[in-house]
Amino acid sequence: MACLQEKCLLLCLVAFSSLLLQVSSRGAVYQPPTVERLTDRFPRVPFPQGMSTLFGAPNVHLKNNGSYVDIILDKTSGSGLISRNKYYHGFFSASIKLPAGFTSGVVLAFYMSNADVFPHNHDEIDFELLGYAKRRQWVLQTNMYGNGSVKTGREEKIYLWFDPTQEFHQYTIIWNNHHIVFLVDNIPIREVIHNQAVSSVYPSKPMSLYATIWDGSEWATNGGKYPVNYNYAPFAASLTDLEIVGCSMQNTNSPNVASACLKNATVSSLDPVDGEEYASLSKQQMVGLNWVRSKHMYYSYCKDTARYKVMPAECNAQ
């Protein structure tokens, strides 16, 4: 009898260990480290106050007096929003819940850009959430361009440690003269330090904030191997908790807003992330950054020797 009990206990332990391994392979077993909630420092604004419709108006649905918005991709169109102002530096954040199910080729982008004003010399800071086919798991890609440096992609990709389709999660960009920080649920997942190696391609001109959903079939999954399947449409992403604060001038198409902000001239708001506390990551934030990069990052352009025979200068400076 004792032998039988020991055998049952052993089988249970084996089954439990196997389950842990399976959960670990999906990343769910990892508990994120505790970090300060920077998103609690800034006010939240209704979407109609901070942003306007960029395209696909019938697929933009405001809810709860504009504190929530759904942006939708279907057979007719994608959809998107653009900030009412352009910003030089700042803190930009939204909580997003992604569409569930078979989302191959669907791209949800939360990003900053000035390509509309500087088409040949634009800057860009990107969150791109990429729908996936086989694993039905969303992938998070970050990227950055400065001064038209689009020939050098600076992509990094991570698997998220949660299911982004079940509830809202915060995606945040900090951009100042010291560094660019990408954060998810206030945990830094990437930092681009503004040093000499990266200075020529560091975003330097005022940008708008965008939130878009669109068909990325041509490139988003293994070079377009798994296109969007519209049998599963519509694909609706929900956004809330918009935070959009920075040094801004309304309706400007000039890079001079940057110097105006730095000189504290006639601007609608001062740079909210220019202080010493935003110049570098805290020890707690560094723990979070290292946790993400060691456990969840699976691609970095700085390690892609097949793509770059000579690595970009900032890779060698790390």
Please list the residues that pair with 174 across neighbouring strands.
91, 181
Q: Is the pLDDT of residue 237 over 90?
A: yes
Q: How far apart are CA 143 and CA 124, in angstroms?
A: 8
Reference 208, options 123, 127, 147; nearest CA is 123
Least confident of 67-81, 126-140, 192-206: 126-140
**Three-state secondary structure call for residue 76:** coil
Active site residue 124: yes
CA–CA–CA angle 199, 205, 207 (5° rounding):
125
Prior bond of 32 cis (ω within 30°): no
Report all structural domains of the chain as residue ranges with CATH numbers, in order of start: 31-316 (2.60.120.200)
Q: Write the DSSP symbol of residue 250.
A: T
36, 124, 218, 243: the catalytic one is 124
Question: 102-106, 125-129, 240-244, 259-263: which range is least confident on average?
Answer: 259-263
All residues at 6 or more sequence positions from 82 whose CB lies less than 8 Å from its CB, including other chains: 51, 52, 53, 54, 208, 209, 210
Contacts of 125 (CB under 8 A, 6+ apart): 111, 112, 113, 143, 144, 173, 175, 180, 203, 207
Q: Please tell me the number of Cα atoms within 13 Å of 195 on its side-chain side.
A: 11
pLDDT tens for each residue of 146-203: 999 998 999 999 999 999 999 999 999 999 999 999 999 999 999 999 999 999 999 9
Return the pLDDT at 16. Answer: 42
- What is the rounded average pLDDT for all residues in the chain? 87
Minimal CA–CA distance to 51: which of 30, 32, 36, 71? 71
Q: Is the pLDDT confidence value at 265 over 60?
A: no
pLDDT at position 137, please?
A: 84
Kindly report, residue by residue over 268-285, the tens digit of the pLDDT.
556 788 788 899 999 999
Binned at pLDDT 50, 70 and 90, residue 225 comes out as confident
Q: Which residue has the higher pLDDT, 234 or 261?
A: 234
Which is the catalytic residue, given 36, 128, 155, 191?
128
191 is catalytic: no
Which residue's entry shows tokens 């020890």? 283
Q: Are 93 and 39 in contact (CB under 8 A)?
A: yes
Burial of 314 (0-12, 13-18, 19+ CB in 10 A): buried
